[in-house]
């Protein structure tokens, strides 16, 4: 339904939203928007028509209503109790892109990383090929400095657009952010709306060939095509999470409907019957096992959000 003149009800209050072009849905199941295929309901989801429409929506959203952004859902575990407040959907929606200069590419947060890699490689530019190995949206890659095949997102970022809780759009230089391995820290209550990438010429014009070769290698080593989030844990310094997990015999072990991949130990798979609680508990048990045996605290790459279902608790 259109949200034009439709109220949003939260905590006993009703709010009229005017002049919007997107779609507001209530009591919305989020499992179909995550690559693990699990997760409870959101009170509301908003699918914006474009970035201007999203800014208009936020300008009217009361500050006490929680807000969460969701792209392809490839790096998130949404608990079975769901998410309170409003979830902003970006995948396939905030997807405008353009060339600002021969080597300067602009993309919005809802574009898939794979599409950005393909478009820039087709233009015989180098620097963004690694994005083809990230199974998510560009906004998610910006938020966590996602990387693959030796590349990292913020190495090619020139500047970003952010949107704050009041619906105000900001232009920010990359120097305004603290960037590290799988870590980005900027202004609180601002979300990535778009970014500009500074790329380099590729005289060999072999970007697409490199992407195909890397994807083939990835498919040989990782359980592609099964419901997972990609790598669950960050690699600790001078080691690999998969090696540590495999050394303790976790490959193929189940907890409920979730199991550690037999192909790559840093992947947890939904067998088809897993709950979010199954997956989270398995993540915690693997963490504990590695810490007790090796003294290494594995840090999840995946973001765990939302509420537990009634009766659920952490380990």
What the chain holds in terms of domains, given with CATH numbers, is 7-89 (3.30.43.10), 97-208 (3.30.465.10), 223-305 (3.90.78.10)
Q: Which of 51, 91, 126, 231 is catalytic?
A: 231
Beta-strand pair 76-78/303-305: parallel
Beta-strand pair 157-164/190-198: antiparallel
Confidence tier at 6 by pLDDT (50, 70, 90):
low
Six-digit token pair at 29? 């199941």
Confidence tier at 11 by pLDDT (50, 70, 90):
confident
Confidence tier at 315 by pLDDT (50, 70, 90):
low
Task: Give bridge partners of residue 42 from the DSSP assignment.
Answer: 28, 83
Q: What pLDDT sits at residue 310?
A: 77
| Cα–Cα distances in angstroms (integers) from residue 258 to residues 37, 251, 293, in the given order | 12, 12, 22
pLDDT at 257 over 60: yes
Task: Give bridge partners of residue 125 from the DSSP assignment.
Answer: 201
Q: What are phi and psi of 118, to 5 degrees?
A: -65, -45
Lowest average pLDDT, out of 62-66, 156-160, 240-244, 292-296, goes to 62-66
Nearest to 154 by CA among 171, 177, 121: 177
HSE on the CB side for 226, CA within 13 Å?
Answer: 21
Mean pLDDT of 269-274: 98
DSSP 61-130: S-TTS-EEEESS-TTEEE-TT-EEEEEEE-TTTS--EEEEETTEEEEETTSBHHHHHHHHHHTTEES-GG
The C-alpha atoms of residue 206 and residue 193 are separated, in whole angstroms, by 30
25 is catalytic: no
Q: What pLDDT sits at residue 1?
A: 36
Per residue in 182-228, pLDDT (tens digit) is 899 988 899 999 999 999 999 888 999 999 998 998 899 999 999 99
Q: What pLDDT sits at residue 5?
A: 44
Six-digit token pair at 89? 């959907």
231 is catalytic: yes
Task: Give bridge partners of residue 183 from the DSSP assignment.
Answer: 180
Beta-strand pair 67-70/83-89: parallel
Per residue in 92-132, pLDDT (tens digit) is 899 999 999 999 999 999 999 999 999 999 999 999 999 99
Q: What are phi and psi of 122, to 5 degrees?
A: -65, -25
Q: Which residues have CB under 8 Å from 25's CB, separation 6+?
A: 1, 44, 45, 47
Q: Which of 84, 155, 182, 303 is catalytic?
A: 182
182 is catalytic: yes
Q: What pLDDT sits at residue 313?
A: 57
Q: What pLDDT sits at residue 4?
A: 44
Judged by phi (left if over 0) then psi (alpha if -120 to 50, else beta), residue 14 lies in beta
Q: What pLDDT sits at residue 130?
A: 94
Q: What pLDDT sits at residue 2?
A: 40
pLDDT at 73 over 70: yes
Mean pLDDT of 19-40: 95
No. of helices (H) and no. of strands (E), the chain: 6, 22
Per residue in 217-250, pLDDT (tens digit) is 889 999 999 999 999 999 999 999 999 999 999 9
Calculate what percentage of the chain has a pLDDT beyond 90.
83
Spell out a b/e string for 18-41, using b for 16 or more CB atoms within 10 Å of the CB, else e.
Answer: eebebebeeebebbebbbbebbbb
Six-digit token pair at 58? 């936020």
Per residue in 284-311, pLDDT (tens digit) is 999 999 999 999 999 999 999 999 997 6
């Amino acid at each position: 339904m259109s949200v034009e003149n439709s109220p949003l009800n939260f905590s006993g209050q009703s709010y009229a939203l005017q002049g919007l072009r997107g779609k507001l849905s209530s009591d919305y199941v989020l499992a179909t928007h995550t690559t693990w295929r699990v997760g409870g309901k959101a009170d509301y989801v908003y699918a914006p028509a474009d970035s201007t429409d999203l800014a208009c929506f936020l300008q009217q959203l009361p500050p006490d209503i929680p807000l969460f952004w969701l792209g392809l859902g490839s790096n998130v575990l949404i608990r079975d109790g769901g998410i309170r407040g409003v979830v902003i959907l970006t995948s396939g929606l905030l997807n405008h892109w353009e060339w600002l200069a021969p080597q300067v590419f602009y993309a919005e947060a809802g574009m898939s990383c794979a599409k950005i890699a393909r478009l820039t490689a087709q233009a015989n530019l180098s620097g963004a090929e690694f994005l083809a190995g990230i199974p998510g949206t560009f906004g998610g890659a910006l938020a966590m400095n996602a990387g693959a095949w030796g590349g990292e997102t913020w190495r090619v970022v020139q500047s970003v657009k952010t949107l704050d809780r009041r619906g105000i759009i900001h232009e920010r230089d990359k120097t305004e952010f603290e960037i590290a391995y799988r870590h980005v820290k900027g202004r609180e209550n601002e979300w990535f709306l778009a970014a500009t990438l500074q790329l380099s010429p590729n005289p060999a014009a072999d970007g697409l060939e490199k992407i195909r070769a890397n994807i083939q290698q990835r498919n040989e080593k990782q359980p592609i095509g099964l419901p997972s989030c990609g790598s669950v844990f960050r690699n600790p310094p001078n080691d690999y999470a998969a090696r540590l997990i495999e050394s303790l015999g976790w490959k193929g072990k189940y907890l409920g409907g979730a199991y550690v991949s037999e192909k790559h130990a840093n992947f947890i798979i939904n067998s088809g019957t897993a709950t979010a609680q199954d997956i989270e508990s398995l993540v915690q048990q693997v963490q504990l096992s590695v810490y007790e045996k090796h003294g290494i605290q594995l840090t999840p790459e995946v973001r765990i959000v939302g509420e537990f279902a009634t009766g659920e608790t952490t380990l």
